[in-house]
Structure 1
């Protein structure tokens, strides 16, 4: 008999992916995401612990495309520093710690803003 005209052999049925396989994939994805978040938090904490608490950047403002003014605390002295590509210049020395200006309108936290938007969206 000619193999060209032979009846095709029955192939085994493919294993249908059910809800249980989808649940396994979702659980694995959540596990990997959890590990990534835990590692990110641990690295952020390790970086914060390694810094010298007597030296810190208090504020910074952009003055141009690549220029910034940075307020740095070194011990009890505050330094206003100009930063540009390839250059750092001391602009002013503040012997006493400058008090940050009190804002007239407090900025709401992201969580409360998101919660208000979520409530508004659910009550449509």
Structure 2
């Protein structure tokens, strides 16, 4: 944070020096201060957006599944299918329709999955799956 403030301060100092130099050259007097204030505001807003994008880490892609975690948790193939369906936002009825099973069977599989993951709801299950790399992204 301190480094960003110093960078902004240096840029502002350079901009102030440039405006003073342009004023000295009689070029600035033709255009009002509001225009220069607007230009400086736009430049700083652009710099802020650019710096934030540079600081933000790129999202990592999960190209592998953590087989050790799957075995350690004792997850079945069907529970992994349920987890994949949860991560794509499907409802119990949609999952039942896609997998050609009863909605009650979906509830049973989800209850077993929640117990194995130590979670209470769908959101926590998907979050835990991402933490353990249980699904490919």
Q: TM-score range by the shorter chain?
A: under 0.3
Give the TM-score of the pair, scaled to structure 2: 0.25
Larger Rg belongs to: 1
Higher helix proportion, which one?
2
